[in-house]
Amino acid sequence: MQAANLWTNCSKAILDWVYPVKCPLCGQLSDQSPCQTCVGEMSFAAPDFLEDDSPHLEFRACVYAYSGRAAQAVRELKYGRSTSLADFMAGKVAERASEVSTPRELVVPVPMHVSRASLRGFNQSILLASQLEGHEVSTTALRRIRATRPQAGLTQKQRDTNLTGAFQAVAEVQRRDVLLIDDVVTTGHTARECAKALREAGARSVGILAFAGNLD
């Protein structure tokens, strides 16, 4: 066992020397992802909590403002497949969850349509929910049953209808308080459609927490 561990450590050292680890955001050499400099450049959201005025969604909350390095982290994880960022991002979501949720809540990552999940290879919302200790996490309570266009880049009118009927919840959520997890929350269109499906299936309340957002 000691020989195996020694070989593993030596192999890692050689690989790190041949292929030095770099921060996926700034490209500088770093043994952390992201590096401390990039973390220091992330701006905390203000506000970071906002009660929602829809009949289905209770609140929207986030950690960082969706700008600068935090927005870059979201894009690099989602589109650049820089999954080394996931641990840091999930840790920040978990810290914030301890302030806005209770352990009795059912944690539900915002789902992706199967076609997009197959193309990307992972659902970033599931990765971001991975460190919420003490919570029950369900990836089956809510499904995206209709493929939709990305909300970014759509007009206000298109945003209002793009997600209509795109989600379906199951009886698992009956009489449960649900905390949705996503990478970004802004206007709340996606969250409200998710919340509508969850409430129609019997959920008692629904809120959403994201790594980044612009809530006002």
Query: Tens of pLDDT along 80-105?
Result: 999 999 999 999 999 999 999 887 89
Q: Which CATH class is domain 42-213?
A: alpha beta
Does pLDDT of 167 surpass 60?
yes
- Whole-prediction pTM value? 0.85
Element (H, E) at 137: strand 136-137
Query: Using omega within 30 degrees of 0 as the cis cutoff, is the peptide bond preceding 103 cis?
Result: no
Task: Provide the residue ranges of all domains of the chain, joining segments of one domain with +.
Answer: 1-41, 42-213
91: closest CA among 53, 127, 57, 143? 127
The closest of 160, 188, 156 to 49, measured between CA atoms, is 188
Structural contact between residues 173 and 198, judged by C-beta atoms closer than 8 angstroms: yes
Q: What is the pLDDT of residues 128-163, one digit of tens each?
A: 999 998 899 999 999 988 766 565 555 555 555 556
Model confidence at 110: pLDDT above 70: yes
**Model confidence at 57: pLDDT above 80:** yes
